[in-house]
Structure 1
Amino acid sequence: MSDAPARITDFKVLVFDVYGTLADWETGIYEELKPMLSRYRQSAGWSRKEVLEAFTAVEADLQAKFPSLLYSDLLAKAHEVMEQTLRASAGEALEGAGLDSSGASTSDQSAPVPLGEAHIRFGQSIKNWSIFPDSSAALHALSKHYKLVVLSNVDRQSFSHTLAKLSEGGSTAFAPESYSPPESEEYWFPQRNPGSKSPFTLVLTAQDVQSYKPALHGFKVALDVIHKDAALLNTPKDRVLWVAQSLSHDIEPANRLGVTGVYINRRGAYMGFPSGAEPHYAWKFETLGEMAEAVEKA
């Protein structure tokens, strides 16, 4: 790889993490878990940090075991596993069991056990998660200077709700079909939808790449498409910036592939920090809005 450009404006494509960077993942998870956690003495008094750490441990385990499981189903399963653990600690009888090889919930290997309504509701809660106040305006400003790409640990249908919010400045007054994911196309180019105001040229989800970050496979797919697709200017990886709040899920794996990172240090975040030394990143901003302002000045 040739030396990376010295100026932030010398890059051509920005790849974004979404949940934690553009959308308030932590608040969304925390608020949606509270009703279940409040029912158990062990977890009723957990701090926000304790809640998020407990959830992330379960989520990461499921993502590693079942990389092809839709994220909405994985969220539902994580909710179920957390409740099973709490009930076991409280000495209550458990219902349900683990996942079979296809990711289905089973009590034995022949009889499926439906997830409870509360678990399913949690799995579908992404549509309720808020975007950060600066995200939409900053993305539209950055899209004047770069092609924007998403690689997110989510499924297409769940992401469509967040895409609409990011595209429309948080407004709910939009045509849903403008942000509906494609049913059959290999890749999702949301700007091709009639009426779409998407700042993103390409959206890749865990559903598309069949893996969850920080596994490198999704990063390699994203970089390959960016390099080969004319809509993304056939951009090589030394002209790609990886923009994320999570150092462990995004910046560190990008480093391993020789891709320059931009760290968005969202204040109050608990998740996404490595256990060891911080990976290298070329720029650090407190918000995406601050990054957009720096680009405009440059």
Structure 2
Amino acid sequence: MSETELTNFKVIIFDCYGTLADWETGIYTALQPLLARFPSSAKWTRKEALLAFTAVEKDLQRKDPSMLYRDLLAKAHGVLADGLRDIDAPASLKEFTDASQQFGASIKDWPIFPDTIDALRVLEKHYKLVILSNVDHVSFTHTHAKLSNDAAHLPVYAVPMPNPNAHWLPKATPGSRSPFSLILTAQDTGAYKPDPRGMLSALEIIQKEFGVGKEQVLVVAQSLYHDIEPSSELGVTGVWIDRQGASMGLETLGDGPKWWKRFETLGQMAEAVEAETETEA
């Protein structure tokens, strides 16, 4: 492919957490009360803490893909707490249960990368933007409002209940400033990435709703493990947002590139798209 073909695609499927939202900072911050309780975890580096957490999370996602993500986060926190418990840091079961529930609800506090919102506004001029995320409806409402730069109107960014459409098409919601044409979560697909069922479901819906085949779809994501590699195996072109300093989702980095293009930020990708557009004009 040439250097001027980003604009030949019509749809972008985004991963959210890790790509648009800084889930590593969100998770690490929310884990601090637990990590500080135990002598071993109190000494962990940020990377050690995140990798310990994600190992538990991935195991739970494989075992129970039907579990809502906020409940899965709470469960992962509890499993991590059980593994760390020792006589130096006694705690009641209720204390850990309450802390786990608070951790499961922490998604609403996870920050958005500073380049994300402006980049989305650029990219929505050129593509249909789609979310495919390992999250649940309630938790994503808060992130959706932030990504729309409209957190003051939270109810507008919740999935309609009951949903009058077969799928969540947020641009059809009155008052919505959402940049997204379609949102799919693990709650919708019944699968946690990297399970290919989520991507296959997204591609099917994109074909039905927008008349776009996978050859004109880009997967844009930070996680090689969750997004770039499994979509590559399905023949979908990937753009890797290589967020500097990231620890999670890079298990297969040494296996060789499975992506077509690489940018360090979403802002850089948006600039490249605009540059192509100006060249073609």
Give the TM-score of the pair, scaled to structure 1.
0.87
The equivalent position to 2:44 in structure 1, one of 28, 43, 46, is 46
**Deviation for aligned residue 1:177:** 1.8
Distance 1:132 1:91, change over 3 A: closer
Q: Distance in 1 between matches of 2:96 and 2:39?
A: 23
After TM superposition, the structure 1 = structure 2 runs for residues 192-207 of structure 1, keeping only pairs within 5 Å, are 192-207=172-187
The SS at the match of 1:262 is strand
Relative to total residues, which structure has the larger helix share, 1 or 2?
Answer: 2
Which amino acid in the other structure matches residue 172 of structure 2?
R
After TM superposition, the structure 1 = structure 2 runs for residues 216-235 of structure 1, keeping only pairs within 5 Å, are 216-229=196-209, 232=210, 234-235=211-212
**Contact 1:88/1:94 (8 A) holds in 2:** no
Q: Does 2:188 align with 1:208?
A: yes
Structure 2 portions without partners, runs of 5+: 277-281
**Deviation for aligned residue 1:191:** 1.1
Percent identity between the aligned chains? 55
**Contact 1:4/1:260 (8 A) holds in 2:** no
**Deviation for aligned residue 1:94:** 8.6
Distance 1:23 1:206, change over 3 A: same
**Deviation for aligned residue 1:131:** 0.3
**Contact 1:12/1:240 (8 A) holds in 2:** yes
Which amino acid in the other structure matches residue 20 of structure 1?
G
After TM superposition, the structure 1 = structure 2 runs for residues 196-275 of structure 1, keeping only pairs within 5 Å, are 196-229=176-209, 232=210, 234-275=211-252
Which residue of structure 1 lines up, in the alignment, with residue 256 of structure 2?
Answer: 278
Which amino acid in the other structure matches residue 14 of structure 1?
I
Q: Does 2:101 align with 1:120?
A: yes
Which residue of structure 1 lines up, in the alignment, with residue 170 of structure 2?
Answer: 190
Question: What is the aligned residue count?
Answer: 273
Which amino acid in the other structure matches residue 134 of structure 2?
N
Of stretches 85-94 and 195-204 in structure 1, the one that deviates more from structure 2 is 85-94
Q: Distance in 2 between matches of 1:179 and 1:263?
A: 27
Distance 1:89 1:74, change over 3 A: farther
Structure 1 portions without partners, runs of 5+: 97-113
**Deviation for aligned residue 1:90:** 5.9
Distance 1:277 1:95, change over 3 A: same
Q: Distance in 1 between matches of 2:60 and 2:240?
A: 26
The SS at the match of 1:116 is helix
RMSD: 2.1
Which residue of structure 1 lines up, in the alignment, with residue 279 of structure 2?
Answer: none
**Contact 1:241/1:262 (8 A) holds in 2:** yes
**Deviation for aligned residue 1:184:** 2.8
Runs of 4+ residues deviating >3 angstroms:
3-6, 88-96
The equivalent position to 1:32 in structure 2, one of 13, 30, 33, is 30
**Deviation for aligned residue 1:24:** 0.3
The equivalent position to 2:21 in structure 1, one of 17, 20, 23, is 23
**Deviation for aligned residue 1:195:** 1.1
Of stretches 80-89 and 149-158 in structure 1, the one that deviates more from structure 2 is 80-89
The SS at the match of 2:145 is helix
Of stretches 179-188 and 245-254 in structure 1, the one that deviates more from structure 2 is 179-188
After TM superposition, the structure 1 = structure 2 runs for residues 26-105 of structure 1, keeping only pairs within 5 Å, are 26-87=24-85, 95=93
Q: Distance in 1 between matches of 2:69 and 2:35?
A: 21
Q: Distance in 2 between matches of 1:4 and 1:209?
A: 34
**Contact 2:38/2:89 (8 A) holds in 1:** no
Q: Distance in 2 between matches of 1:246 and 1:91?
A: 34
**Contact 1:190/1:198 (8 A) holds in 2:** yes
The SS at the match of 1:218 is helix
**Contact 1:87/1:94 (8 A) holds in 2:** no
**Deviation for aligned residue 1:197:** 0.5
Q: Distance in 2 between matches of 1:91 and 1:36?
A: 10
Give the TM-score of the pair, scaled to structure 2.
0.92
After TM superposition, the structure 1 = structure 2 runs for residues 121-160 of structure 1, keeping only pairs within 5 Å, are 121-160=102-141
1:127-177 deviation line (CA, Å, top 9, x unaligned): 000000010110111000000000000001101111111111xx53x2222
Q: Distance in 2 between matches of 1:227 and 1:271?
A: 31
Which amino acid in the other structure matches residue 297 of structure 1?
A
Q: Distance in 1 between matches of 2:91 and 2:5?
A: 60
